Chain A
Amino acid sequence: MKLDPSFIWTAFLQLWSAVPTTLYITVVSVSVGFVIGIITALARIYRIPVLSQLSSGYVTFIRGTPMLTHLLLIYFGLPMLVDGLSAHYGLGWNSAKIPMIGFAYISFSITAGAYLSEVVRSGLLAVDRGQMEAAWSVGMTTPQALRRIVFPQALAASLPNLSNSVIGMLHGSTLAFTVSVVDLNAKAQIVASTNWKFFESYVAAALIFWGLTILIERITGLIERRIRVYSKGGVA
């Protein structure tokens, strides 16, 4: 085995075909996770009975266990549940119909939901109480105040955390290979073992991930500059 730097470029080209899969997993898990995050964060902030306890339990469990165990639990648990329900009610479902990437979508969305719940919550808590009172004082209802005053400020405050969550999910998507989804990491493994050039393949994969991460950070920076116009000059 000899180092072959030129193979990095070859691997790079072959790996491109797996980039969409990696991006799909990231986008789906972050989007679904964001919805879960908002619901669970509001449930906890407003102390809605039952729902808030459930949300807290969910967030603690997910954040206290590795993402890999979430994936494995879903991968082995979901078919059991689906087939069991199907047999019980005669629904005619079959867990074998769930595509592999479906497990990744479901499991990673659940993971992302817990982390984003914390991001959303801390963003909302960062908004000064006076903002809400001012909104009430000009006659807004609470939902109006939340939507027009609190949420935009919370979003601005939580943008850096949001961006980090997206990057976290992008990197976490490499776990999808354990359920045989051919994402960037799995593709790198395939390219590596068929050509017997492990190091070069992983260098190429690392470079692609690095590039994607920097891209996300740049985009965040751009949005941040636009969104934070109102706080310019302050010592935020």
Chain B
Amino acid sequence: MEYGFDINYVFDFIPKLLSTLNITLLIVAGAIGLGLLIGFLVALPRLYNVPVLRNVSMVYVSFFRGTPILIQLFLFYYGLPEILKLVSIDISKLPVIYFVILTFGLNVAAFVSETIRAAVLAVNRGQVEAAYAVGMTGYQAFTRIVLPQAVAIAIPVFSNLVIAMLKDTSLAFTLGVMEMTGKAQTLGSLSQHFIETYIALALIYLVMSIALERLMLVAERRLSRHMRRDASEKNRFFTRRRKRLTLGGLTRELKPGNKEVPRYEA
């Protein structure tokens, strides 16, 4: 073809890029795991209104949601070794991928904490009262009544978080990590067929995002059986079809006080 574009390169590059898929998935899994753990810890002081710690949580969340993830990446990559050097711990030889997972994990934690908080607050107050009225303890009411409902509310947002994290792994190349995007750049400059490489790269991300979304949708359906209301479906304008793609991803729409979370009004 006259632009020098050759579709065969795309098919040629896909398996080559997939050889680094494990690195991409490792970053996603590591960051999400770490993020869930830290996110839960960060959410607790605000749910239980612990003075001082509550404010620390708020600043933590505000910082990680208020700055670009790329800046955070550089900040931790360059900053952490210097700060730890002050207490004479040398981590300058630690492989870069640990910094990536740590930064992304801390970032995800901020969003996870907000998600947990919003979901717990979205569970109707009457549910807790009813639990108390049948004689449950505070712990029983939380684990048996509030938590299962909150998890069902949080799943769509969580699904967006995972997909956003998958896409953000593409930033790891800036620190020289050989995940899929890094690999694509190398392949591009070696072959000088940049456009074909990036098409191949985009296709892989696309398929993975769609697969993840479908997977999460199955989980959502299972966990929110109780929310399907065949009798009293609300009459909405335009289409009667349910929203197919959930909002969010890059924009991560869950704000404190956002009205997006479904409410459990009987």
Contact = CB atoms under 8 A, between A and B. Distances in A.
A118 B82 contact: no
A188 interface: yes
Given A63-B209, A132-B237, A68 B245 contact: no
Closest 6 CB pairs of A and B: A198-B78, A64-B209, A171-B68, A213-B66, A199-B79, A66-B170
A3 B83 contact: yes
Contacts of B74: 188-189, 198, 202
Contacts of B7: none
> For B79, B238, B251, which residue has the most chain A Cβ atoms within 10 angstroms?
B251
A66 B168 contact: yes
> For A81, A122, A174, which residue has the most chain B Cβ atoms within 10 angstroms?
A174
A31 interface: no
Nearest to B170: A66
Contacts of A73: 195, 198-199, 202
B220 to A, nearest CB: 16
B235 A128 contact: yes
B125 interface: no
A105 to B, nearest CB: 18
Interface of A: 1, 3, 45, 59-61, 63-69, 72-73, 76-77, 80-81, 83-84, 87-88, 111, 115, 118-119, 122, 124-132, 150, 157, 160-161, 163-165, 167-168, 170-175, 185, 188-189, 192, 198-199, 202-203, 205-206, 209-210, 213-214, 235-236
A168 B238 contact: no
Contacts of A119: 247, 251
> For A61, A65, A87, A172, which residue has the most chain B Cβ atoms within 10 angstroms?
A65
B55 interface: no
B56 interface: no
25 contacts: A3-B82, A59-B245, A61-B206, A64-B205, A65-B202, A66-B168, A67-B250, A69-B198, A115-B251, A132-B237, A160-B255, A164-B251, A164-B252, A164-B253, A165-B251, A167-B66, A170-B68, A172-B250, A174-B70, A188-B71, A203-B79, A206-B63, A209-B66, A210-B67, A213-B67
Given A3-B82, A45-B238, A235-B263, 19 more contacts: A63-B249, A64-B205, A66-B170, A68-B181, A69-B198, A69-B205, A80-B4, A128-B237, A132-B237, A160-B253, A161-B251, A161-B253, A164-B253, A168-B252, A171-B69, A172-B250, A199-B75, A206-B63, A206-B71
Contacts of A173: 68
Contacts of B202: 61, 65, 69, 73
